[in-house]
Chains A and B, each alone.
Chain A
Amino acid sequence: MVQRLRASVIAAPTGSVINLVGLAIVAVALVATVQRVYEGGATYFFQTIGFGLAEGAIFALVALGYTMVYGIIELINFAHGDVFTLGAFFSVALLPVLGVVEGQTSGAALILPLLILFIVTMLLCALVNVAIERVAYRPLRHAPRLAPLITAIGMSAFLEGAMNVWRGPFNLHYPDLLPEFQIPLGGGVTIAAKAVMVIVIAVVLMVALTLFVNRSKLGKAMRATAQDRDAAQLMGIDINRTISATFFIGAALAGAAGIIYGLYYNSFSAFDGFTYGLYAFTAAVFGGIGNIPGAALGGLLIGVIYSISDGYFSVAWTQVLVFGILIFVLVFRPTGLLGMRVPEK
Chain B
Amino acid sequence: MTRARDFVRSNLRNPNAIAYFLMAVGALLFPAIVQFATGGSGDYLVGLAADGGIYMLMAIGLNVVVGFAGLLDLGYAAFFAIGSYTYALVASNHLGVTPLGHSLHVPFWIALFIGMLVAASAGALLGAPTLRLRGDYLAIVTLGFGEIVPRVFRNAGIWTGGVPGISALDVPTLPGWFQGPWVGQDFAWVPDFRFTSANLTAYYVLMIVLITFVVILVNNLYNSRLGRAWMAVREDETAAAANGVNTVSIKLLAFSIGAATSGFAGAFYGAKLSYVSSENFGFIVSVTVLAMVVLGGMGNIPGAMLGAIVLYFILFWLLPNAPAQMQQLASSLGLDWLNQSNPNGWPGIAEVVSRSKYVIFGLILVGIMLLRPQGLLPSQIRKQELKHAEHEALAAPRQLQA
| Chain A residues within CB distance 8 Å of chain B | 13-14, 18, 74, 76, 135-136, 139-140, 142-151, 153-162, 164-165, 167-169, 229-230, 274-275, 278, 281-282, 285, 314, 316-317, 319-320, 323-324, 326-327, 330-331, 334, 344-345
A158 to B151, CA, bound (A): 25
Select which of A145, A167, A319 is within 8 A of B136 by beta carbon.
A145
Q: Which of the segments B168-176, B184-192, B304-312, B394-402 contacts the partner chain?
A: B394-402
Q: How many inter-chain residue pairs (CB < 8 Å) link A and B?
A: 156
Select which of B147, B154, B290 is within 8 A of A150 by beta carbon.
B290
Question: Do residues B129 and A164 form an inter-chain contact, with CB atoms below 8 A?
Answer: no
Select which of A148, A167, A230, A331 is within 8 A of B129 by beta carbon.
A331
Select which of A74, A161, A167, A275 is within 8 A of B357 by beta carbon.
A161
Question: Do residues A154 and B359 form an inter-chain contact, with CB atoms below 8 A?
Answer: no
Question: Do residues B358 and A158 form an inter-chain contact, with CB atoms below 8 A?
Answer: yes
Q: In the complex, which residues of chain A have a beta carbon less than 8 angstroms from the beta carbon of B364?
A: 154
Q: In the complex, which residues of chain B have a beta carbon less than 8 angstroms from the beta carbon of A285?
A: 140
Q: In the complex, which residues of chain A have a beta carbon less than 8 angstroms from the beta carbon of B361?
A: 154, 157-158, 161
Question: Do residues B129 and A149 form an inter-chain contact, with CB atoms below 8 A?
Answer: no
Q: How many residues of B contact A (CB 8 A)?
A: 58
| 30 A-B contact pairs sorted by A residue (CB < 8 Å) | A13-B129, A14-B129, A74-B136, A142-B389, A142-B393, A144-B386, A144-B389, A146-B135, A148-B369, A149-B136, A150-B291, A154-B366, A157-B361, A158-B361, A158-B362, A159-B362, A160-B358, A161-B356, A164-B356, A164-B358, A165-B359, A168-B347, A168-B351, A168-B355, A278-B144, A285-B140, A317-B151, A320-B148, A331-B141, A344-B134
A334 to B152, CA, bound (A): 24
Q: In chain B between 119 and 176, which residues have their CB closer than 8 angstroms to a CB of chain A? A: 129-130, 132-137, 139-141, 143-145, 147-148, 151-152, 154-155
Select which of B140, B345, B359, B400 is within 8 A of A161 by beta carbon.
B359
Not counting A135-B366, A330-B133, a sample of 6 additional A-B residue pairs whose C-beta atoms are within 8 angstroms of each other reads A13-B132, A74-B136, A140-B369, A154-B362, A155-B362, A334-B137
Question: Do residues A151 and B366 form an inter-chain contact, with CB atoms below 8 A?
Answer: yes
Shortest distance from the beta carbon of B312 to any chain A beta carbon, whole Å: 17
A145 to B148, CA, bound (A): 25
Q: In the complex, which residues of chain A have a beta carbon less than 8 angstroms from the beta carbon of B330?
A: none
Q: Is B360 an interface residue (CB 8 A)?
A: yes
Known: A74-B136, A144-B389, A327-B145. A150 touches B294 (CB 8 A): yes
Q: Is B1 an interface residue (CB 8 A)?
A: no
Question: Do residues A169 and B141 form an inter-chain contact, with CB atoms below 8 A?
Answer: no
Question: Do residues A278 and B143 form an inter-chain contact, with CB atoms below 8 A?
Answer: yes
| Chain B residues within CB distance 8 Å of chain A | 66, 70, 72, 129-130, 132-137, 139-141, 143-145, 147-148, 151-152, 154-155, 283, 287, 290-291, 294, 298, 345, 347, 351-352, 355-367, 369-370, 373, 386, 389-390, 393, 397-398, 400-402
Question: Do residues A316 and B362 form an inter-chain contact, with CB atoms below 8 A?
Answer: no
Known: A153-B365, A158-B363, A320-B155. A326 touches B358 (CB 8 A): no
